[in-house]
Amino acid sequence: MLAEVAPEASRRAPRAAAKATAHRLSEVEAHTIVRLPVALGEFARVLGGGIVPGSVVLIAGDPGIGKSTLLLQIALTLAEDRRVLYVSAEEAERQVKARALRLVPTGQAAPELYLLSETDLDTILEQIDQLTPDLVIVDSIQAVSLQELEGGAGTITQVRECAARLVAAAKASGAAVFLVGHVTKEGAIAGPRVLEHMVDTVLYLEGDQFHAYRLLRAVKNRFGATSEVGVFEMRTTGLVEVPNPSEVFLAERAVNAPGSAVAVTIQGARPLLVEVQGLSSPSSFGHPRRTANGVDLNRLLLTVAVLQRRVGLHLAEQDVFVNVVGGLRIDEPGVDLAVAAALASSARDRAIAADVALIGEIGLSGEVRSVPQLEARLREASRLGFRRVLVPWSLGGEVQTPPGLTLLPAHTLREALALLELTAAARSTSNP
């Protein structure tokens, strides 16, 4: 297979430019970043406080997850007093207008929002020069192309060169540029990996299409914290921010139900309380199933192995299922203890007390290991009415405990489950 070759004009040697001169750090003038305000507070949180002029943001996610809807909402709110160019390379202008009418209240207008249905990048760049917008949205980068390049839209050369020219246009004009990116079936951004290096910020819109909640996660941000998360709810009128996601995720929790545990996790700088459900049942097949929904499968396998080897819980002939309620995806190891407790609760048919939350990572020796930002987790648990929190022993005496909250420190997973068994035995309504 022949490699793609850039045109002759792209391979020419660059013109001679003035030589750069090194400066002392103390001599470099510092500039305060003035961000464009965003009406959606959760979106602004993920960006680091607002949209930075001249920045390039890549937002990716599964088809139909809400990327175009979210960006059109941003465009509609910003276009009240800022000029916005929305480039739709996959939809006609009338389709974008129809979606906009569903998103904005009756009578609300966006006087400075310009729509352009175009796939030719040269035409898009001409419009940017003519309109001088504050924000440009290109939906999507895999659908635009340059006529001078060989290959169709979406090829490696096309995506790389189109992105490079849009980045250059953003830096030259001061307009912020948002690029929508497709993802592969594995969930990675389609196209060359260099695309993620070229932009200033990379955002992922995550969620289950069968659930209403969406998580906007920053995995790269030159102007803010990485791994920051914003929570939205998908409605017929668009994406609505969820300012108190912990309350939402625990709203339908069944109290005193075996197989349910509350984990206190950290998503970016925000603590979240989520319900982790575990279920074990006798296997009908020769190889028991291990199914993880919302947690990493490899960590589930590790947790099951520790439960069997270090605690003596017989799961070798049991199908094991773990689910994070609400369609969330949690990758941090601080939920290990909740996963283990939910499985033990299901296997022994004994509920965990409703006022207990769990925090901790599990090691291969069965030890309960420390996790970061414990005080923030404890404050969130106390705010939602929890009275006891199971924590690693190493951190039990080193943190400020909120009033009314009791810590239950444990060295090992066996100790942690013993504490939960005593608590459950006193309060459980199920059979022992």
Confidence of residue 2 (pLDDT cuts 50, 70, 90): very low
Residues 265 and 229 in one domain: no
Residues 271 and 225 in one domain: no
The answer to whether 228 and 221 are in contact (CB under 8 A) is yes
Helical axes 121-131 vs 156-173, angle rounded to 10°? 10
Range of the domain at 336: 247-427
Q: What is the pLDDT of residue 264?
A: 96
Tally Cβ neighbours within 10 Å of residue 36: 17
Residues 236 and 285 in one domain: no
Q: What is the pLDDT of residue 118?
A: 96
Q: What is the pLDDT of residue 284?
A: 85
Asked if the structure places residue 16 within a domain, the reply is no
Closest alpha carbon to 43 in 76, 17, 10, 18: 76
Asked if the structure places residue 26 within a domain, the reply is no
If you ran DSSP here, which 8-state letter would residue 412 be given?
B
Q: Is the pLDDT of residue 166 over 90?
A: yes
Confidence of residue 396 (pLDDT cuts 50, 70, 90): low
Asked if the structure places residue 224 within a domain, the reply is yes
Spatial separation of the C-alpha atoms in residues 43 and 206, rounded to whole Å? 14
Residues 148-152: contacts with CB under 8 Å, at least 24 apart: 148/7, 148/9, 149/6, 149/7, 150/4, 150/5, 150/7, 151/4
Asked if the structure places residue 343 within a domain, the reply is yes
pLDDT tens digits, residue range 133-154?
999 999 999 999 999 998 889 8
Residues 330 and 405 in one domain: yes
Confidence of residue 256 (pLDDT cuts 50, 70, 90): confident
β-strand pairing of 176-181 with 213-221:
unpaired
Asked if the structure places residue 8 within a domain, the reply is no
Residues 108 and 158 in one domain: yes
Q: Is the pLDDT of residue 33 over 70?
A: yes
Asked if the structure places residue 13 within a domain, the reply is no
Return the structure tokens found at 279. 């279920």
β-strand pairing of 318-324 with 290-293:
parallel
Q: What is the pLDDT of residue 107?
A: 54
Residues 273 and 419 in one domain: yes
Which of 242, 257, 273 represents a domain boundary (last residue)?
A: 242
Percent above pLDDT 70 for the chain: 92
Spatial separation of the C-alpha atoms in residues 76 and 345, rounded to whole Å? 49
Considering its fold, how many domains does the chain have in total?
A: 2
Residues 41 and 147 in one domain: yes
Residues 268 and 206 in one domain: no
Residues 233 and 300 in one domain: no
Residues 78 and 155 in one domain: yes
Query: Averaged over 330-343, what is the pLDDT?
Result: 94
Q: What is the pLDDT of residue 18?
A: 61
Query: Averaged over 386-399, what is the pLDDT?
Result: 85
Residues 217 and 265 in one domain: no
Which of 190, 209, 242 represents a domain boundary (last residue)?
A: 242
Query: Averaged over 273-291, what is the pLDDT?
Result: 92
Element (H, E) at 98: helix 93-103
Q: What is the pLDDT of residue 384?
A: 94
Residues 137 and 58 in one domain: yes
> In CATH, what number is assigned to the domain containing residue 155?
3.40.50.300
Q: Which residue has the tokens 């309620």?
A: 325
Asked if the structure places residue 364 within a domain, the reply is yes
pTM to 2 decimal places: 0.81
Q: What is the pLDDT of residue 8?
A: 46
> In CATH, what number is assigned to the domain containing residue 390?
3.30.230.10
Asked if the structure places residue 7 within a domain, the reply is no
Q: CB-hemisphere CA count at 13 Å for 237? A: 5
Q: What is the pLDDT of residue 28?
A: 86
Which of 227, 242, 257 represents a domain boundary (last residue)?
A: 242
Q: What is the pLDDT of residue 106?
A: 55
Q: Is the pLDDT of residue 427 over 70?
A: no
